[in-house]
Structure 1
Amino acid sequence: MEGLTDPIMRDVLTSVGSFDWCVTEFIRVTDSVLPDHVYHSYCPELLTEGKTAAGTPVHVQFLGNNPDMLAANAVRAVELGAPAIDMNFGCPAKTVNRHRGGSVLLDEPEVVHELVKAVRDAVPAHIPVSAKMRLGYLDRNFTLENAHAIEDAGASWVTVHARTKADGYTPPAFWDLLQPIRESLKINVIANGEIWTNADAKQCQRESGCEDLMIGRAAVTTPDITQCIRKNTDEALITWEELIQLQIRFLSGPYKKEINMVGRYKQWLGMMSKHYPEAKVLWDDVKKVKPLIDIVQKLQQHQ
């Protein structure tokens, strides 16, 4: 979700969705404790008791392979107000994996254990530490070993994307392969992957045996999906007019450069156009428009 679920998107989605919590984009840790301004850039919610404007807690997520530095940065994040720490062992990006981060570490369960334990031992006991993983890197040889490594290291729960890195994001997600993990662990297992609708959510719960779900790309594509899942309906629960207001709210966010704001908005609109016919019409109308004020005018015309 790097470059997608930034603070402005979290503000918009939590204002209309029904999330128990959300997670920052991963913060890459190498060989130093990051300065406070980096934390406030990734997670400005630290300045508001670790919550979005809608009151949704924001967990700070780390990615890296240095146990001492991950632990030290987790301590600093908690000092700044992070309500929980999440660790990323799921990112499939080639650049990340090439630098020994994300899903490539799933070939080394002992390292996964070391990293989670270092963070768990470093932060106060009342602060949850969790981890996100996939079924594996290039294969599923260490699926259960990694899950147990995370549990044995003291994690409060584990979120599992139901594909390997090699599978990428190509359908299907193998929800049924999460059931052995859930049955093997004492901590909670949260299911993730290819959940686009309420029907998908219910099918995932049946096949995986997991009660709790993590929604990623679908929350951006369909902002009311969490409401639909809670109310067990596939009917839209927000109107297009309400979605227009969300888009205007997004465009009023504090981006440093207008071009970045416009680019991010078009990325989001392109994703929504796969679900909303109105978004496809709007996309065709604004895709070549560059000035922010002109895009907002187009939005107002499409209400």
Structure 2
Amino acid sequence: MRRKAAVTSLLIFALSIISTTFVLLALTSKRWSVQKYYLNKEGDLGFGAGWADPICHANKSPFYRCEPPVLTILNDVASCNVPNCQFYQPYGRNKTSCRLAAETKDAEPNSVTNAGEQECQDVHYTGNLQIAASVFITLGLILLIPLTLANFLLGVERPKHTTPNPAAATISTEEAGTEPKAASQTTGPLNGHRSPVSKKFSPWTPHLVFVLLAFLYLGAILQILAQFLGVISMTIIATPTQDQAIQSNIDNLGATPWIIDKALSTYATIAWTSALACAGLVGLVYRTPRFTKLI
């Protein structure tokens, strides 16, 4: 039984590490979405039929943004550069990755440095939700460390007292001319068995487990919401659009829409699925407090 508990504790701890790793990868990665740029060649059928390998690409995240590509053709050799790619702060006027025209003071209708109010609202919500998810899931890992250590240390503890054989005790007492003592007066667990490990934990442990479950479930829910809003803000309404991206190279360059990249599809999904799996196992293995029902 103790071996099963140890293996389960290790599995829970591993799931928490996986969830924390991928939620932080999603937070710091620039690969939430990608827009690919292709060189239009003579004789292409159009509609992207001749687009095999992109000449360059731009990434986008709630904290990362690039300007549209710059195409340079010299001696029939084309080169593409995506300028001014940088990480931005998650807060502050004219400092975030999504800025309004009122902040940039750019009145150009097709300005690629500006974004609409809807996009900026969704980008800011996505970034804040991702930060909150990272905080709660990381706190869950921190709370799991003492629980896992205590489970292992108390699980391997040896019993200090054992009950002697009743038959041998009767014989020895008869030889000594005294009456045998009742078995109830002996100390320690019967037959050398270990006492339940749950009785060795602090009485505050169930409350700690309850807080741990709250952190894991909140982190998973916030990560799902960040992923949902990320799909909207990073792909559906993301700027620059295809036309904005190639407006200065419309004859030689083609662009795809913004599509989902690794951080938004893989990192975020692994983060919330492993957090939910970890929380489910914690609820099955560890004791939780029994609250008095009001009704």
What TM-score, normalized to structure 1? 0.21
| Greater Cα radius of gyration, structure 1 or 2 | 2
Bigger RCO of structures 1 and 2 (CA < 8 A, at least 6 apart):
2
